[in-house]
Structure formats: C-alpha cells, structure tokens
Chain A
Amino acid sequence: MSDNTKLVNHNDNEIHITSYVEHFGTWISLILLTFMTVFISVFGADLNTLTVATALFIASIKALVVAYYFMHLKYDPKIYRVMIIVVMALFLFFLLMLVVDYLTR
C-alpha cells in the first residue's frame, strides 16, 4: 500500500487503508495551520499587504495537504497530479493578470 509510485487502477476496486497516523497527522497539521492564520491576522498586523499573501499561502498549503493525503491524490495515477497542476497554473495566471492590471492602471 505504501508503494505510491505504482499506478493504481480504480477499476480494480483497490482499497487503500490509510493509517491512523496519517489521518491524525493531516488533522493536526490543518489545525496548526489554522492557528497560524489566526495568529498572523490578529497579531501580525504590521505585515500590511503581506498579511493577505501569507494567509493565502497558508491556505494553499492546507488545500494541498487535504488533496494529497485526505483525498488520496498520493495514490492516484500521475495524470491527476498533472491535471491539478494545470488548473492551479491557470488560476495563478488569472491572479497574475489581475495584479498586472491593478499595478499598472
């Protein structure tokens, strides 16, 4: 089960039994990251614009943790990772162009 380089075909109804350690690890890291977000927004006001950037950065890490461990991306074929990366890239391009527009107006 831990061999995540192997391509897993969901047609074969293979079931991944994730260990408690992994589930709890995911949960605890999410809680810690949430505390970090709160902490920064309440006490880190002097970061100014960086506050938003940091909050977004932490949120992205949380999303990745959820996708990778909880949603079993680590067991899925590589193509799924490619798809997610493409989507994230599209989204980043959208943000990039928004920022270009705002900063050069």
Chain B
Amino acid sequence: MTDSSMSQPSYLNIKKGLFSWIFTLDHKRIGLLYLYSVGAFFLVGAALGVLMRLELLNPGGDLIEAQTYNQVFTLHGVIMIFLFIIPSIPAVFGNFFLPIMLGTDDVAFPRLNLMSWWLYVIGALFALSTLVFGDGPADTGWTFYAPYSVKTGTNVSMSVLAAFILGFSSILTGLNFIVTIHRLRAPGMGFNQMPLFSWALYATSWIQLLATPIIGITLLMIVAERMLGIGLFDPSIGGDPILYQHLFWIYSHPAVYIMALPAMGIVSEIIPTFAQRTIFGYKAIAYSSMAIAFVGYFVWGHHMFTSGMSGPAAYIFSILTFFVAIPTSIKVFNWLATMYKGSISIEVPLLYAVGFIFNFLIGGLTGLVNGALAADVHLHDTYFVVGHFHYVMFGGTGFAFFGALHYWFPKIWGKMYNKLVANVAFAIIFIGFNTLYFPMLILGIMGMPRRYYDYLPEFHSLNQISTYGSWILVSGLLLMIYNLIRGYFNGTKTTDNPWNGITLEWQTKSPPPLHNFDKAPELVKGGPYNYPNAIDGSH
C-alpha cells in the first residue's frame, strides 16, 4: 500500500460498473466472476442437500414425494458436480493466481477465458431452465444412466445439454492453463521452479482437455437416442446400456481428479507457508500429480462392478484402482513430513488444509474399500458410497476451496476477515460435516440403499444424527460466509504479505495492480519454497 504515487491502481479500482466486470479480460476479475457464480450455485446445491436431509429425518414420505425426491437429488448432483466442484478451484483460484504465481500478467488467451465464463453462465441457465420447461428436472441421478435416461419423461435433454455446454467451458479453461504454463512462465522459472499449485493445475488441465470431449459426445448420444431412437444404449432397439456406463465413466473417473488435484495443489501451498518450511519432496508431489492424472484414465470400470460388466474386466479394474492410491499417499506423507519440525502457526487456512487431509484420508480409504471388488458388490449403491464421495468432494475439495478462500482473501481484497470468527466457523463446519456424513458410512454397511426418499425403521437413529449434522454444517457455512462478507466490507487493511509466503503472489500488492506486478518479481533462489529463515535440520 506504500508509494502509490508511482504505481498502477489495483484491478478492483481500475474501472467500475457491471459491464467492466462481465466483459472484463482481466484474469483476476474473471476469477472473481467465477467465485460469485460458483458460490451462488454451491448455496443452491446445499439448500437442496438440506432439503433431502429434512425428508430423511423420519421414515416415510412426509415432506416431499418420491418423484420430487428423485429430481432433487439429480439437480443437487448436477449442480454440485458441474456447476460447483469442477470449476471451483481451477476457475476461481487458478484464474486469479496461476498467472501471478508464474510471474506473468494474464493467461495466454484472455478472450477464451471470458468466453469460458459465459459458457458457464449459459450452461447454468440451461440446467436451471429444466425447472420451468418440459416435465421438470431430470430424475435420473447426475449419472444419466441409460436406458432410463432415454425413457423417462422428465427433461433429460436439457440437463444433458447443460452439462455439454459446461464441458466446453471446462475444456477452454484447461487449454488456457496448459498454454499459459508452457509459454508464460517468468524468465528463469523452469517447470521445476513452479509452485505446486501450478503443477496441480497443469495435471488437471490435461484431464479437462482430454477427457471432457468424451462426456460431451456421450451426452449428445443420449439426446440422439431420445430423439431419433438410434439404438446405441437402449437394449430394446439393439443398444447396450453398459456401453453408456463405459463411456460415462471414462470421463467421470478422471473428472474425479479434476476435482481432487487442484485441492491437493492448494494444500501444497498452504502447508509450507504456515510451517515456514521447504515443502518435503517437491518433485514427488509435482510428479505424483501427473501420475494421478495418468493412472486415473485406467480405472473407470470400478464404478461398474455390479452392472453386468464381465468378471475378468472387473478383476482388472479392481487391481488397477489400487495403483491410484500410491501417488495419493505419497502426497499425504509429504505434507505431513513438511509440517514435522516446522515452525507452525495455526491460522485458519492451515486448519482447512489439515481438515482436508483428515477428511480426504477417510474419503480415500473408503474409496479403496469400494475399489475392492468383493466389498463393492455389497456396498455399491448404498449410503456408503454417498458418504465416501462427500468425504472426497466436500470434505476434501470443498475444504480446500474454503482454505484457499481464507488463504488468499487478504491478497484478493487487501483486507482481513475476523480470524476468531473464522476459527469458530471452521470448528462448526468440521464437526457438522463429520456428523452429517460419518453416519452415512455406517448406514451403507448396514445396507441402506442410496437414492430413496424413504427407509426401513432400523436406519432411523443414524439418519436423525446425519440430519442434525446438516444443520450444524449449514450454520457453520453461514457463519463463514457472513464473516467473509463482513471482512470484504469492513475488514482491517492488511499488508501485502500477511502470512509471510514466498511464492510470487506475495511479492505484489494487495489487491494486485491490473498487470499484477509493478516491477518484475524476483524468483526465490533454490526453489519456490526455500524459506530463508527455516529451522531445517532434517534434510
């Protein structure tokens, strides 16, 4: 904030008015556009989730009917997957921070970047339009499994087209990041001097670029099947429903890493900053991102163990699934080793990062349980799966998203939220989250199936606990959001580098100027996490 006489105005003040935002080419403003849209849809999705939990508070259809419930979980799933979690970290924080962390002034293709946000908006409108047009939102689940998705009277075509358009938005972001990383790194910054968040985005972008077109085509095949009855997936006219599942999961399993890898990148940024210590195993973390992205292409069949896929194919996929665990655990051990003997300051972002590790461990290990062929035959389509993927996506990526928000909040707006309130909100969210989802794991093992509005009496008490958890969670979320909004309006001004970070975004002002740096940033000697005052005897 000093010597403002000779420096550019911040990106927030350079121009005002709605049009200066929705037609901006500045990667930082586009990042914020994504933040607001993604955040809004998170709230819609969460409201639908709470609605489902209310219905499940007691057995019997006392709040919503079966058909409505089917549409609610589908809309919840579609919103959370395509409108929240896939764009979340890359489109918000990737857009905002990737160029700054690489020491450059924008992404490679700013116009494509704006177009990708507009495609996101159009896709979102398509998804929401199912609420008013046709026979209501799809009731197929977010997976749109054929042949039901070909036969149901609900508005599947529109939902599927929404996902198709959103896919293009995702592809453009990925393409943009790949070119940015290859072409626009600051002079002297080789691949191995990049921050780990960039590595994570790099791996993610390749998945976005290579896997998303497959889901695009597959979803169009659904529309074609519905309108023209070609006989691709519908067995009554010669199609094969299992082919649909192959095509769907060859995208959607890699897509799980579109959700997870950027979150891991966030954690790899937060932990060294708050341990003031070089990240342990830089290359192991960087390359394991690439390894996860690669191996992630070979395991899709683990979603199909009980769907009629052949036995030998199932064995192969089960074995391959276990390989993904290796690079993932490499990362976890490296994060823990980074904190070991570091000078740790327990600030809110670190709490979210550690919360991530805790939740992701439960999510990852229950994932291995699902990947084990014999166990999955029992657990498939039970609440165990619902518990598992919320641990990964919400407890993992969601927590990392909130962590990133608290970590970079002072950089984005130049102000600080109330840290005490933020700590309290974290505690409530953490407790609420685990109260909501841990009972689901037990319910699943007891045999409660997913995607039902009703259940047998023996599942009552655990369902009640889970619903209470959703109330705790939501109050924590609201407190967190309130605190951040209050920080935005009334927060105290911060310094440019409140956490003593050393990646390049901490060298510029808070909030950054339009072209990110007033003078060219200096690369840290000895790698991006070489903390000058680290007490470091271990390696």
Contacts and interface: CB of A to CB of B under 8 A. Distances in A.
A101 B242 contact: yes
Interface string B71-84: 00000000000000
Interface in B296-334: 297-298, 301, 308-313, 316-317
Given A87-B210, A93-B298, A101 B250 contact: no
A104 B246 contact: no
A101 B244 CA distance: 13
Which of under 10, 10 to 19, 20 to 34, or 35 or more describes the interface residues of A?
10 to 19
A104 B210 contact: no
Nearest to A98: B246
Contacts of B316: 97, 100
A16 interface: no
Contact of A101 (B183, B210, B297, B309): B309
B298 A101 contact: no
A97 B301 contact: yes
B298 A104 contact: no
B311 A104 contact: yes
Interface in B196-219: 210
Interface centre among B243, B298, B301, B313 (most CB of A within 10 A): B313
Contacts of B310: 100-105
A101 B246 CA distance: 10
Nearest to A94: B250
A97 B297 contact: no
A104 B312 CA distance: 7
A36 interface: no
Contact of A90 (B210, B242, B301, B308): B210
Interface of A: 11, 87, 90, 93-94, 97-98, 100-105
A93 B297 contact: yes
A11 B182 CA distance: 12
Contacts of A94: 246, 250
Contacts of B246: 94, 97-98, 101
Contact of B313 (A11, A87, A93, A104): A104
A97 B304 CA distance: 13
A90 B297 contact: yes
Given A94-B246, A97-B313, 11 more contacts: A87-B210, A90-B297, A93-B297, A97-B316, A98-B246, A100-B312, A100-B316, A101-B301, A101-B310, A103-B310, A104-B313
A100 B250 contact: no
11 contacts: A97-B246, A98-B243, A98-B246, A100-B316, A101-B246, A101-B310, A102-B310, A103-B310, A104-B311, A104-B312, A104-B313
Nearest to B246: A98
Contacts of A104: 310-313
Contacts of A102: 310
A94 B309 CA distance: 14
B343 to A, nearest CB: 41
Contacts of B297: 90, 93
A101 B210 CA distance: 23
Interface string B236-280: 000000110010001000000000000000000000000000000
Contacts of A100: 310, 312-313, 316
Most buried by B among A100, A101, A102, A104: A101
Nearest to A93: B298
Contacts of A87: 210
A11 B313 CA distance: 46
Contacts of B298: 93
A75 to B, nearest CB: 17
Interface string B177-188: 000000100000
B298 to A, nearest CB: 6
A104 to B, nearest CB: 4
B325 to A, nearest CB: 20
A94 B247 CA distance: 9
A67 to B, nearest CB: 16
A93 B294 CA distance: 12
A104 B314 CA distance: 11
B417 to A, nearest CB: 43
Contacts of A93: 297-298
Contacts of A101: 242, 246, 301, 309-310, 313
A44 B310 CA distance: 32
Interface in B107-165: none
Nearest to B312: A104
B257 to A, nearest CB: 14
Nearest to B240: A102
Counting chain B CB atoms within 10 Å of each CB, the highest count among A87, A90, A97, A105 belongs to: A97
Nearest to A99: B313
B129 to A, nearest CB: 33
A94 B248 CA distance: 12
